[in-house]
Amino acid sequence: MPLTRRTRIVLRWLVLLCLLAVASGLLILGWGLALVGAGMERALAAAGSPRVFASPGVLRAGEAWTSEELQFFFAAHGLPPKPCSRPRPYEVCHTGNSFLLGPGLASGQTPVVVRVSGSGLELSQTNAGALREITLPPRLVALLPEKDTVQWPVALEQVSPGLINSVVDLEDRGFLSHPGLSLRGVLRATVANLTSGGVKQGGSTITQQVVKLLLLRPERRMSRKVLEAFLASLLEYRYSKRQILNAYLNHVYFGQDGGVSVVGVEAASRFYFGKPARFLSLHEAALLAGMIAAPNRFNPFVHPQAAKARRAQALSALQREGHVSGEEATEAQLGPLPTAPWPLRWEAAAHFLDLVKGKEVITTLDPVVQEAVRAGVGASLARLFAQKPALGEGSGDPLQVAVVVVGADGRILALQGSKQPKPGELNRALSAKRPIGSLVKPFLVARALEEGWNLEATLLDEPLAVPVGTQLWTPQNHDGRFRGAISVKEALVHSVNVPMVRLGLSLGLSQVTNTLRELGLSPPGTPAELLGAVEASPLEVARAFTTLLAGGRLLEPWAVEPGRHHRQVFAPEAVGQVRGALEEVVESGTAAGFASRCGRPLAGKTGTTDNRRDSWFVALRPKFLVVVWVGTDRNRETGLYGASGAGVVWQEIDRRLPRVYKEGPWP
């Protein structure tokens, strides 16, 4: 029977509508797959927040350490020793003269024993042989926020199994078997939402949570729940369970560090426990997993009882699913809660960070030296403020300090640019250029030795008038007296001004200017530069003094990549003689007594500018040099000489450094 015209029209429309429906469905499917793919690819490729690390800590068998020095060493590396006998992963126990390093700190997963003995350090693995040396993981100096968030993506293999199991068992026990949606969860949420008359529960699986974290806005509407379910199904279709779980663990929210959001299990593990996520103990993993539902409500620092109860729920879920025994769950429930966050930005190194750029870098920063600088500056200023209250905080222009420590190979080991290192504060170690005073004198002597002078040559210490334009410049000695004929060495050791001016004039002002420029300084080209009328930052001063540790070569101080362009400024023989004279500076010269109090080998040079506005001290040890500047931002008189100001700061820093750092032959 032939179809009527009306029937044919209806059929055509039905076919057209079917085709449109299929096309629309394919478009929606394609859009959904593209959206899911783009979101997951961004998540899996995310580099996270910039991460800055210190240099790894190294201990060698036979080195001379005391128990107190080792405690300082481990604490500076972010591993404060605890009085215990069985260290957990990534922890250090201390009993008597022995330190036990937990799994993950050295030599893999086997604990290591570090023992102080009369013959030096003894290093060994438990149930194994002796070790020649151990290397600690580099300390995290800063996890820098981006858009008020810190995040540290890691592979699933870098997360402890206890944390993975805790999250799955507590958040989504059917994760490994469902297709992205949980029927039980959906029914439970539907009943709750109908009863309340709004969207109160989501019944979300981990897959749905990933969709919400990566693809959707945080809205509570039924249409959004439908879209979430659709995208979750596509996510399960396109990606493996491991990839989905990895994305979830790297993007879930774990609370606040001040005004900064802590995102992902690695950042959370560092923030709450000070260790990588792969080394979390069972009780730590259960606590983190429990916090996911409500990070603020279960914050252990603010609500310890609620956090402990939530941890118990996570441990109960682990036991229910057979991932831990009842005994293990009970023991974990007794584990201590963290009482304070671990800093994601080490304040002591706040100014060192001004030297660093990059997403993930291991720097030259030595935590032991940096901590010695921080503590030494604080202690010395307390002494100076007690002696001179007018220089304290109430003065309106208090003393400030800048310190730079550079290794014999140019590595910047520590840096501090104020009395208290704080992010964003003026970094005087890098940017404050002040007259360097008598610090210029060793370089005059080094050049003179190359020009045929010797340390025993005679210089006249008598009144001197030097024409400068239409005027006469009459340099004076700091004590106002003249000594007659003295040697070059004596003039350097006791920092006598007038003979040094005569020495510089004999060399020729232009040659002195060129020498200072070779050192990276900016001399004015006037006779006053012979007495240090040269403005430089502490880091620039440190660069110039590297010549005295590097055989006359000028090294470019570096924090991440070593400098490659070294210039030979002085002959090694001249540098050796100058350094020998500077050893007498700390024996009997302007810093007399420093060597006897602080130990040898030690060389140094004091610097004081006009009216004692700037106090400088440069200390040379075989492995490093320290530059200290003390003054005020408004450049007022302090009444401090190089030894009584900057020298006091240096002594407080130096006495905190372990002996092994200060010993050894001159390079």
The residue-averaged pLDDT of 196-225 equals: 71
Interatomic CA distance for residues 14 and 16, integer angstroms: 5
> Residue 179: what pLDDT?
83
* Average pLDDT score over residue span 278-296: 97
Confidence class for position 60, pLDDT limits 50, 70, 90: very high
Cα–Cα distances in Å, from 644 out to 350, 377, 478, 650? 27, 14, 14, 10
DSSP-derived secondary structure letter, 411: B
Q: What is residue 43's predicted lDDT score, i.e. its pLDDT?
A: 83
Q: CB within 8 A of 504, min separation 6: which ones?
A: 444, 512, 527, 530
Q: Which of 69, 171, 583, 652 is catalytic?
A: 171
Q: Which pLDDT score is estimated for 330?
A: 96
In whole angstroms, give the CA distance from residue 605 to residue 596.
16
201 has pLDDT over 50: no
Average model confidence (pLDDT) across the chain: 92
Kindly write down the DSSP assignment for every residue of 78-101, as one continuous string.
T---BS-SSPPTT-EEEETTEEEE
Mean pLDDT of 43-55: 91
Q: What is the token pair recorded at 414? A: 């520590």
Q: How far apart are CA 423 and CA 187, in angstroms?
A: 51
Rg, C-alpha atoms of the chain: 34
Q: Percentage of residues in the chain with pLDDT exceeding 90?
A: 77
Exposed (0-12), middle (13-18) or buried (19+): which is 232, by Cβ within 10 Å?
A: buried
Confidence of residue 136 (pLDDT cuts 50, 70, 90): very high
Locate the domains of the chain by residue range.
56-138, 143-333, 369-662
Percent of the chain with pLDDT over 70: 95
CATH architecture, domain defined by 143-333: Orthogonal Bundle (1.10)
Q: Which two tokens stand for residue 105?
A: 């700190």
Quick: pLDDT tens for 348-373.
999 999 999 888 999 999 999 999 99
pLDDT band at 6 (very low <50, low <70, confident <90, very high): confident
* Predicted local confidence at residue 17, as pLDDT: 82
Looking at domain 369-662, its CATH superfamily turns out to be DD-peptidase/beta-lactamase superfamily (3.40.710.10)
Instruction: Give yes or no for a contact between 297 and 184, defined as CB atoms under 8 angstroms apart.
Output: no
H or E stretch including 539?
helix 538-545
* Token representation of residue 597: 């109090």
Catalytic site residue from 269, 438, 537, 644: 438
Residue 300, judged by CB atoms within 10 A of its CB (0-12, 13-18, 19+), counts as buried
Q: How far is CA 207 from CA 178, 357, 638, in A?
A: 10, 36, 65
* 160 flagged as catalytic: no
The string of pLDDT tens digits covering residues 509-553 is 999 999 999 999 999 999 999 999 999 999 999 999 999 999 999
Tell me the residue type at 82.
K
For range 449-461, the mean pLDDT: 97
The highest-confidence range among 25-29, 36-40, 108-112, 582-586, by mean pLDDT, is 582-586
Relative orientation angle of helices 282-291 and 265-273, to the nearest 10 degrees: 120
Distances (CA, A) of 161 to 154, 201, 504, 611: 14, 29, 70, 66
Count Cβ atoms within 10 A of the Cβ of residue 392 and give its class: 0-12 exposed, 13-18 middle, 19 or more buried: middle
The whole-number pLDDT of residue 185 equals 59
* Domain 56-138 top-level CATH class: alpha beta
Instruction: Note the pLDDT tens digit of each residue in 365-400.
Output: 999 999 999 999 999 999 999 999 999 888 889 999
Q: What is the widest separation between alpha-carbon atoms in the chain?
A: 136
Pick the residue with more confidence: 616 or 479?
616
> What is the C-alpha to C-alpha distance for residues 224 and 212, in angstroms, rounded to an integer?
10
Q: pLDDT (tens digit, 9 = 90+) per residue, 400-429?
A: 999 999 999 999 999 999 999 988 889 999
DSSP letter for each residue of 592-630: TTHHHHH-SS-EEEEEE-GGG--EEEEEEETTEEEEEEE
Please report the pLDDT score of residue 198 as a whole number: 47
Q: Which residues touch 48 (CB under 8 Å, ≥6 apart)?
A: 151, 152, 153, 264, 267, 359
Is the separation of the CB atoms in 230 and 32 below 8 Å? yes
| pLDDT of 200 higher than 60 | no
Of 437, 479, 405, the closest CA to residue 628 belongs to: 405
CA distance 111 to 573: 48
**H/E stretch holding 256:** strand 253-257
CB distance 617 to 439 below 8 Å: no
Tell me the C-alpha to C-alpha distance, in Å, between residue 148 and each of 92, 212, 258, 259, 544: 33, 20, 10, 7, 40
Which range among 17-21, 89-93, 506-510, 638-642 shows the weakest confidence by mean pLDDT? 17-21
Closest CA to 474 of 513, 527, 511: 527
Amino acid type, 366: D
Active-site residue flag, 327: no
Give φ, ψ of 381 to 5 degrees: -65, -35
Q: DSSP label at 665?
A: -
What band does 199 get if pLDDT is binned at 50, 70 and 90?
A: very low
